[in-house]
Amino acid sequence: MNGRADFREPNAEVARPIPHIGADYIPTEEERRVFAECNDESFWFRSVPLAATSMLITQGLISKGFLSSHPKYGSIPKLIFACIMGYFAGKLSYVKTCQEKFKHLENSPLGEALRSGQARRAAVPGYYSQKPRYESNVSDHSSFVTAPAADNMDKEKFPRYEPIPFSSSMNESTPTGITDHIAQGRNFS
């Protein structure tokens, strides 16, 4: 032996490598066709209806008085904002559908990358239920602890908290507990 342990199972299936799809990737003709189809369908079937609906709702809210119109420009700025948000919401809502179209392409490196990426996530047990890398000790304790149970908690886990009293007067900008005792300790007479 060469000093290295072999942890592979003898009959284990080796996963195929994911094709590299980077910024320099040139899509095939079929992928270009699907890109154009996705762009067209997401615009007409998602973006336009969502933009129009959000503009109608916004205009309704302005006319009912729930939203105020701009003194100089009227409702135009809010309608433009609603239109832009509806457009992008429509585009984003079509991403999963477009990914499915690419997964169904036969000889597509992009489709293969999407299929193998999904297969890898499904093959890893507990992929979505893994614990976070950094955990907090605070999450182990309930925030609805009764008083006797709170006395039994380890007091070293929680730092001692002593709040500094602040003035209720709106004119003062400094905490009262800090400057008062310093000034009282000195005798200027």
pLDDT at 183: 55
pLDDT at 99: 93
**Under 8 Å between Cβ of 88 and 51:** no
Burial track 122-149 (b if 16+ CB lie within 10 A, e otherwise): eeeeeeeeeeeeeeeeeeeeeeeeeeee
Contact 97, 88 (CB under 8 A): no
> pTM for this one?
0.53
Enumerate residues 6+ apart whose C-beta is below 8 A from 118. Answer: 103
Contact call for residues 166 and 175 (beta carbons, < 8 A): yes
* Tens-digit pLDDT string for the chain (189 aa): 555 555 555 555 555 555 667 888 889 999 999 999 999 999 999 999 999 999 999 999 999 999 999 999 999 999 999 999 999 999 999 999 999 999 999 888 988 988 888 656 655 555 555 555 555 555 445 445 555 555 555 555 666 666 666 655 555 555 555 555 555 555 655
pLDDT for res 165: 67
